[in-house]
Amino acid sequence: MAWLSWVLWTPLAGALALAVFPNSRPALIRGWSFFTSIVAFAFSLGMLASFHTGQAGMQMVEQHRWIPAFGATYKLGVDGISLFLVILTTFLIPICVLASWKIEKNPKLFMALLLVLETAITGVFLAGDLLLFYVFWEGMLVPMYFLIGYWGYERRIYAAVKFFIYTLLGGLLMFAGILVLAFHAAGPLGHFTFDLAQIQTVHISVALQRWLFLAFFAAFAIKVPLFPVHTWLPDAHTEAPTAGSVILAGVLLKLGGYGFLRYAVSLFPHAAKEFAPWIVALALIGIIYGALVATVQRDLKRLVAYSSVAHLGFVVLGIFAFSLTSLQGASLQMISHGVSTGGLFLLVGMLYERRHTRLIEDFGGLGAITPIFGGIFLIVVLSSLGLPGLNGFVGEFLVLIGSFTPHRLWAVIGAVGVILAAVYLLWAYQRSSSWRRCSR
């Protein structure tokens, strides 16, 4: 069974089917959207069941003619890097549909954009053709732009435009790199192609690798986001609706880390090693800077947004430390961050729906009023800060251990970021959800 195509196109088919649903039946629209997302998640579980863990390389490969004149093919594949990122995407979308159940402003368009976004994100993780990858990469901009700009909060237009411009500019630089790479590969291969597997067999000079790496790096660094091109993220997170924030934190930011692993490092290894110290320096600055700025935030949602800048710095550190342990840690950190930070944004969204404020000072004593909520909030906070025994610990621990042997200073600075994460997250929890009675 062509699991990958079913996983990829089911959400888009569900979104197109929404066109025939009457606007006067919002409950039917929401129910169909949830059903579609659950079906896509079920297909992803089928993909997981068919995956052979002892087999290296791409599996369940599907390849068909697409644009023969350009050498572009419809090629999908999944491996250990992309497998759980796809499952994370299909797992979070049904939760986002449920979190948006009370959306009253054009719910049909909202749900359709959410499902289209799922297809675009999944396509990025599954694409085995560079042109197909780029189509999905830019395709996710449109639904995310409208989710922020139409259903966001007070400064939603500013945040949406900033997100769109940053990501589009980075994507255009990457597209230029893709074209140069395809033209360069056409000589040795004897034909023009965007097939990643074929391009990887072509020798690329170190001088050309440097320029191509920088072109790809621009797109992935913005998406992570890496300091100093991170400024779009806090605004987008703060102004996006809850579902938009969950998707941003849970999946969209992982596209940058995935891009580094799948394309930048594998296609241009010499340039990646040459630029690694500079990239790690930016990652470490992001870890410390994100933590310090998060510490002084009064807006709970903005605090969680800046925490993502810090946590994703560990992913970049793990990738460019170039040890097997740190690379494994970076992969696990992407998954665990998607779960824990997505959970934090869901909880913050629940608070905002009831109190219409995100200021930490307005929530003092939540534990006394809602002890179950306070307990869940505490578990998610501890998970996000990396408490041993919870999901956030494993990835950061492996990144630091894997970085320590080749570069001890990097690991020490990264460990400071772990300490600061405990400071701002526990302090925020103490101010908002401690069991002392809040003032009404």
Highest mean pLDDT (candidates 30-44, 246-260, 362-376, 384-398): 30-44
pLDDT over 90 for what percent of the chain?
A: 38
pLDDT of 439 strictly over 60? no
Mean pLDDT score across all residues of the chain:
88
- Give the pLDDT confidence of 353-377 residue by residue, as tens digits: 887 777 877 777 776 777 788 888 8
Interhelix angle 324-355/371-385, rounded to 10 degrees, is: 150
- Give the pLDDT confidence of 42-57 residue by residue, as tens digits: 999 999 988 888 777 8
Q: Stretch 109-114: mean pLDDT, rounded?
A: 93
Domain ranges for the chain: 1-139
pLDDT of 333 strictly over 60? yes
pLDDT band at 440 (very low <50, low <70, confident <90, very high): very low
31-40, 270-279, 343-352: range with lowest mean pLDDT? 343-352
Rounded to whole angstroms, how far apart are CA atoms 249 and 348? Answer: 13
Listed as own residue / partner, the contacts of 269-277 with beta carbons closer than 8 Å and 24 or more positions apart are 269/209, 270/206, 270/209, 271/206, 271/209, 271/210, 271/212, 271/213, 271/214, 272/213, 272/320, 273/322, 274/206, 274/210, 275/210, 275/213, 275/214, 275/217, 276/320, 276/321, 276/322
Q: Stretch 269-274: mean pLDDT, rounded?
A: 92
Question: Residue 432: what pLDDT?
Answer: 75
